[in-house]
Amino acid sequence: MAKKLDILKAEVLAELENDILPFWLERMQDPAGGFYGQIDGTGVLVPDAPRGAILNARILWTFASAYRVLGRPEYLDAARRAFVQIRDLFFDAEFGGVYWSLNADGRPLDTKKQFYAIAFAVYGCAEYFRATGEEEALELAIKLWRSIEDHSLDVVKGGYLEACTRDWKPIEDMRLSAKDRNDAKTMNTHLHILEGYTGLYRVWKDETLRRRLVDLCEIFMDKIVRTDGHLGLFFDEDWRSQSETVSFGHDIEASWLLCETAELLDDPALLARIRSCCARVATAALEGLQPDGSMIYEDHDSDRHWWVQAETVVGCLNQGWTDRAVDCWNYIRSRLLAPDGEWYWSTDAAGTPNTRDDRAGFWKCPYHNSRMCLEVLER
What is the tens place of the pLDDT at every residue in 339-356? 999 999 999 999 999 999
What is the band of 1 on the pLDDT scale with cuts at 50, 70, 90?
confident
Indicate whether 322 pLDDT > 90.
yes
pLDDT digits (tens, 9 = 90+) for 17-55: 999 999 999 999 999 999 999 999 999 999 999 999 999
Average pLDDT over residues 122-133: 98
Burial class (CB in 10 A: 0-12, 13-18, 19+), 203: middle
pLDDT in tens, 91-102: 999 999 999 999
Q: How would residue 328 be classed by pLDDT, with cut points 50, 70 and 90?
A: very high
Residue 53: which of 86, 83, 92 has the closest Cα?
86
Q: How confident is the model at residue 2 (pLDDT cuts 50, 70, 90)?
A: confident
For β-strands 101-102 and 108-110, DSSP reports them as: antiparallel
> Nearest 5°: phi and psi at 346?
-165, 170
pLDDT in tens, 193-236: 999 999 999 999 999 999 999 999 999 999 999 999 999 999 99
Phi, psi of 345 (to 5 degrees): -60, -45
Q: How far apart are CA 359 and CA 343, in angstroms?
A: 7
β-sheet bridge partners, residue 29: 35
Q: Where are the domains of the chain?
A: 50-323
Share of the chain above pLDDT 90, in %: 99
Q: Is the dihedral of CA 245, 249, 252, 254 positive or negative?
A: negative
- Enter the pTM of the model: 0.98
**Mean of the pLDDT values across residues 126-154?**
98
The CATH number assigned to the domain with range 50-323 reads 1.50.10.10
Q: What is the DSSP letter of 366?
A: S
- Tell me, what's the pLDDT at 50? 98
